[in-house]
Amino acid sequence: MSINTQRSTVPPSASIAPWLSVNNVAAAADFYKIAFGASELERLEDDNGNLIITNLSILGADFWLQEDPDFSTAYVKQGSFRLIVTVQDPDTLFGQALAAGATEIAPMNDSHGWRIGRLMDPFGYHWEIGVR
């Protein structure tokens, strides 16, 4: 294949898809589906049919989950790693996530040109839900 042909297949933009480790990927996938309306794009199961990796999407924003029995929430619960989801109606999505079992870290508020709130999911990850 020529270099030009390869380059023509590269998309004109880039995206970043976080890869999150969790100690129960099936439970995490279920939570994100309920909390954020995520849809499953891809899944990989082990020989026993247990989910070990999944690719999810929240309104076109993709991220991955991987089963990691050694995963500890101690580091991520500190909030040093955050995910920001920008949506048209952050208040509704924030409330939906809280109803699904997320913990509020900062309530929805208007700050620095954003309408935004911060929560922690049951797996320790911090999510900011907002709109500019």
Q: What is the pLDDT of residue 3?
A: 39
Backbone angles phi, psi at 125, to 5 degrees: -80, 140
Q: What is the pLDDT of residue 12?
A: 67
pLDDT digit string, tens, across residues 7-66: 445 566 888 899 999 999 999 999 999 999 999 999 999 999 999 999 999 999 999 999
Prediction pTM value = 0.87
CATH topology of domain 17-131: 2,3-Dihydroxybiphenyl 1,2-Dioxygenase; domain 1 (3.10.180)
Residues 6+ apart with CB under 8 A from 20: 28, 63, 64, 65, 66, 123, 125
- Mean pLDDT (the chain) is 91
Q: What is the pLDDT of residue 8?
A: 47
Give the closest residue to 22 by CA, choosing from 76, 53, 65, 55. 65
pLDDT digit string, tens, across residues 59-97: 999 999 999 989 888 888 888 889 999 999 999 999 999
Residues 6+ apart with CB under 8 A from 44: 51, 52, 53, 54
Domain range annotation of the chain: 17-131
**Secondary structure of residue 17 in the 3-state scheme:** coil
Q: What is the pLDDT of residue 1?
A: 35
Q: What is the pLDDT of residue 73?
A: 85
Q: What is the pLDDT of residue 2?
A: 34
